[in-house]
Amino acid sequence: MSAQFIAQNLIFGVLTGSLYGLGAAGLSLVFGVLRVLNVAHGELIMLGGYASFWLFASYGLDPFASLLLTTPLMFVIGLGLHQGLFTHVETLDEDMRIKNSLLIGFGLTLALHNLAIRLWTADERAVTTAYSGAVIAAGGLVFPVVRVAALVIAFGAIALVHLMLRATYVGQAIRATAEDWEAAMLMGIDVRRTYLIAFALGSALAGVAGTLVSVGYSINPSIGLEWTLKALIVVVLAGLGSMPGTFLGGLLLGLAESVSALLLGGTYREVVALVIFVLVLMFRPQGLFGR
């Protein structure tokens, strides 16, 4: 096994891990602020992918340009889902909030899965552009243009959200509510509005991830569960409290899967991810970067 072959696999691990990190960022934000575990998060990623595919197939809109439409669309969908479903659990204590949000999320998963089959059938879909097969060769290594662009966009999205949480009033309200919602309310923060914005922002991040998945991989109505599991593993691995930490957690998971595929074979990729999930829960339940 040559050093070049190993390096190439590690590069693919990083490129894949960037999507894991972006896909988990929305779930981490929602759970960290609302204490709501939205297990339909993967279905939101799937919807973002199908929105990009539909815009490309119907209007020829470049998938990266379609982010300007799919991101606000998923933000609005997040507003509707929160107001219609998840707002009803906000008055419960934390344990009941998690349990009830799980039930709501499972129901939403089934509804969105069947809606996607109804609208787009169960066939695999992908956005194939003129540059889909383009690569950048350097030092004997190959960098797929689409996946490199996805890495840059994923990093940029995480950086923008991190900056928003640090430098804006809305971001500070989200952080304060995540820390202690009762104290935030006493300080004059509209906690319900903050919950609404945080959930919609998490949905928008899922939409960005879905668009990048549709152009770099493929989508079908069944990918939601896979991406929800990946997001949960990354959230446990990284811990709550840091958007950059979540992104780094995704990169680590991508690298771990790449190394396991090299050493054990591709069939053990998913097993290694679950082993990491269990080990982190056992020995560092707050995550590697959690606060």
Q: Is residue 183 in a domain? A: yes
237 contacts 249 by C-beta, under 8 angstroms: yes
Position 255 pLDDT exceeds 70: yes
Q: Is residue 21 part of a domain?
A: yes
* Residue 196 counted as domain residue: yes
Tens of pLDDT, residues 64-118:
999 999 999 999 999 999 999 998 888 888 888 888 999 999 999 999 999 999 9
CA distance linking residue 56 with residue 99, whole number of Å = 38
Q: Are 241 and 117 within 8 A, CB to CB?
A: no
Q: Which residue has the tokens 């202690």?
A: 180
- Burial 180-203, CB ≥16 within 10 A → b, else e: ebeebeeeebebeebbbbbbbbbb
As given in the structure block, the two tokens for residue 204 are 């928008």
Q: Is residue 291 part of a domain?
A: no
Question: CATH number of the domain that 12 lies in?
Answer: 1.10.3470
Inside any domain, residue 277: yes
Name the residue range of residue 213's domain: 3-283
pLDDT in tens, 141-197: 888 999 999 999 999 999 999 999 999 999 999 999 998 888 989 888 999 999 999
Which runs of consecutive H residues, i.e. helices, occur in 217-242? 223-238
288 domain-assigned: no
Q: Kindly give the residue spans of alpha helices, DSSP state H, lying in 121-240.
A: 145-167, 169-179, 181-186, 191-216, 223-238
Over the range 128-159, which residues count as b (16 or more CB within 10 Å of their CB) and which as e?
Answer: eeeeeeeeeeeeeeebbebbbbbbebbbebbe
- Total domains in the fold of the chain: 1
In a domain, 289, yes or no: no
Instruction: Please tell me the distance from the alpha carbon of residue 138 to that of residue 258, in angstroms, as a whole number.
Output: 20
252, part of any domain? yes
